[in-house]
Structure 1
């Protein structure tokens, strides 16, 4: 079901090349925030009357619980002008359709297709040549891993190109991610790739395999981070969640002869038992979906009683013999906190920051540190 409301734009709170975040006054009288994507329709103006998709707000969703502008009412002329301007852009020559068979289906110039300057890269089989690929389930892992990789790159004097590949397991527009916007502003990401029905990256790709190849060869990545965008789908069941894509990504990296490094989802403060210790999402993906071996670094700096729980979970799922479980002497919380100070945006997971859910941050930083060490030894 889709919930619709009409409203008037009262203020433009923030604007980038790709997105506007605005305040709207709904016809029923309340005020709310709405998101408007500029690669899909014309720029909003104060006073515009808009049709909103309010489904997320009605459901009270967390990450995506805002309204989205579907269209500008009575702005046919602006849409015609916007369309003519878009025809002049290089991407207008693309023939790959995303959001297929919906009213918002759009063409993109995929890296693989004939009109792309990168087309020849995909004419033959390319391996990843051992490139470390950090695989995360939650989008909040991206800024932690990205910040730590940048820290290592800067302190070692060895510049590394870090590329983010976004799947379609969460948000589809990469423009929704404030973390991606910030990482690119800081110069900590060399580029982005969106694949499947995710869109808006520096490069577009058809699937996870060619997205990884595009990161390696078109964007010249030294290390790639792959994770879904903000938000994910979960049902509280063993396999009913998009976090299982981490297992599929391990397989893809293995097939392409890269080095899959899983960022484990670790936490001890979640009231849901299935996410205590190693999340059941991580355990299920490693035990039942991943066919290849992954490196799974775990932070050594945990109290013994927490380690006892992790060890019991790993044994119960039979993971000690299937994957490379690494006790990594990585950064402590103080080091991670100092590293994130230069980032400038709050980083939380499930509403909790570093001080409330330290093991989550330690696990993401440990995985990034391990991947960096692997790169350094190549």
Structure 2
């Protein structure tokens, strides 16, 4: 189940909060001679300590050897020539990535030892806070683009946005360069890691407590719920990690929030099941989300013939999700040239399934539309 390698750190490369890239020379060759003897590895210093040039490391190369979407990384499991120093004494008893070799002990926002325990013990309502829910992590920057654009259009303050990261993809929040870049740019105010995910500004047991913490501890105006990088899918109706987006809609609605369903849309995916509205969104919002949400359908620029044709397909597919055929509310949001220009100014790279804004504009325009609507809801509260 695990393909192991050991090697020596030859170079310490780019770092961002919680993570650092390394170049590692492997001790043993691969069975496939086309694979490199030196690999790009990712280390999380809070788990494995600081690693300098010359240090030996143990690597998990399972996904790398299979060419799966890990960002092209081997993952550092531990130093191979000693153990990291003990962490400083702390409180908290939440264990995440439970019963794996790298399980981490963290202080939960609702832990008995937490300074926020009293608030979280009594918290039970989101007070109508808009909650934008998406399937793919790549939607996060575009949603924020939309929310900020709506604030600029209306002349209102930029909303305070908290990202709730679920555990369907990467478990460490540190893996997300997008989240780190959005934080550095001042676009994202905080990250709450829910379930088995960890490494956020606050740690939560569930999506429910993560949302309550976003509202009552972090004073969020708007929350965005989406898994970390690395969607898992099997090409089947139910076998994909993004199905949890439907459960997030239910959580937001049960807690008195205003759920906004961000559709996964593509005009460039070679797979028929993902063209227009992905079957992932149709299943997630059509079958898993049992409480009503605002389903945001983009109205593309009518001067763009290709997007206009795609928009017709999207509206036809969305009809199954919204009233009178489905349980959700249809919201049509224009996404013209100004939205595309705003997306082009994102402080982090836009990429979904390896495609950028120029290759699959519909994906990012649709996510931005949900951010526009989420921010607009703040004015209606």
Gaps of 5+ in 2: 30-35, 302-306
Could you tell me how far 1:125 is from its partner in structure 2? 4.2
Q: Distance in 2 between matches of 1:318 and 1:203?
A: 35
Question: Could you tell which deviates more after superposition, 174-183 or 60-69?
Answer: 60-69
The SS at the match of 1:12 is: strand
Q: Deviations over 1:9-40 (max 9, x none)?
A: 11111123411111111123711100000111
Pairwise mapping of residues 30-45 of structure 1 onto structure 2 (< 5 A)? Answer: 30-45=37-52
Residue 197 in structure 1 maps to residue 199 in structure 2: no
Counterpart position of 1:2: 2
How much has 1:190 moved relative to structure 2? 1.2
Q: Distance in 2 between matches of 1:285 and 1:157?
A: 33
Task: For residue 208 of structure 1, report the CA deviation from its aligned partner.
Answer: 0.7
Q: Aligned-pair distance for 1:106?
A: 1.7
Check conservation: 1:336, 1:361, Cα contact below 8 A.
no
State the partner residue of 2:76: 69
Indicate the residue corresponding to 2:331 in structure 1.
Answer: 326
Moved more, 100-109 or 62-71: 62-71
Aligned counterpart, 1:243: 242
Correspondence for 1:310:
314
Corresponding position of 1:105: 103
Match of residue 373, structure 1, among 363, 367, 376: 376
Could you say which residue in structure 2 is the equivalent of 1:260? 259
- Determine the C-alpha separation between the residues in 1 that align with 2:48 and 2:308: 54
Measure the CA separation in 2 of the matches of 1:32 and 1:154. Answer: 44
Distance in 1 (alpha carbons) for counterparts of 2:132 and 2:289: 15
Residue 94 of structure 1 is matched in structure 2 by 92
What are the Cα deviations for residues 63-116 of structure 1, in whole angstroms up to 9, with x where unaligned?
A: 44310011111223xx2xx21xx224xxx2111111111221121100001110
* Alpha carbons 1:131, 1:259 under 8 Å: kept: yes
Could you tell me how far 1:367 is from its partner in structure 2?
0.7
- Number of matched residues? 367
In structure 1, the residue matched to 2:15 is 15
* Distance in 2, Cα, partners of 1:374 & 1:5: 51
User: Using the alignment, how far apart are the partners of 1:16 and 1:309 within structure 2?
Assistant: 40
Sort the Cα spacing of 1:189 and 1:307 in 2 relative to 1 into closer, same or farther, 3 A.
Answer: closer
Supply the distance in 1 between the matched residues of 2:322 and 2:366 (Cα, whole angstroms): 20
The structure-2 alpha-carbon separation of the partners of 1:318 and 1:371, relative to structure 1 and needing over 3 Å to count, comes to: closer
Deviation at 1:335?
2.3
TM-score, normalised via structure 2 length: 0.92
Is this contact kept in 1: 2:165–2:226, CA < 8 A? yes
Alpha-carbon distance between aligned partners in 1 of 2:80 and 2:379, rounded to the nearest angstrom: 55
For residues 88-147 of structure 1, what are the alpha-carbon distances to aligned partners after superposition, in whole Å with 9 as ceiling and x for unaligned?
Answer: 4xxx21111111112211211000011101101122242101100010110110011112
Unaligned runs of 5+ residues in structure 1 are none
Q: Is the 8 A contact 1:21 1:34 kept in 2?
A: yes
CA contact (8 A) 2:185 2:347 kept: no
What residue is the counterpart of 1:56 in the other structure? Answer: 63
* CA distance, structure 2, for counterparts of residue 209 and residue 64 of structure 1: 30
Distance in 1, Cα, partners of 2:75 & 2:312: 45
C-alpha contact 1:17 1:38 (8 A) present in aligned 2: no
User: 2: distance between equivalents of 1:97 and 1:323?
Assistant: 36
Q: Select between 198-207 and 301-310 the one with higher mean Cα deviation.
A: 301-310
Match in the other structure for 2:24: 24
Inter-partner Cα distance in structure 2 for 1:114 and 1:153: 38
Deviations, residues 185-219 of structure 1 (Å, cap 9, x unaligned): 01111111001110000000000100000000111
Alpha-carbon offset, residue 316 of structure 1: 5.1
Mapped to 2, the partners of 1:170 and 1:367 lie a distance apart of 21
CA distance in 2, matches of 1:294, 1:166: 19
Query: More relative contact order in 1 or in 2 (CA 8 Å, sep 6+)?
Result: 2
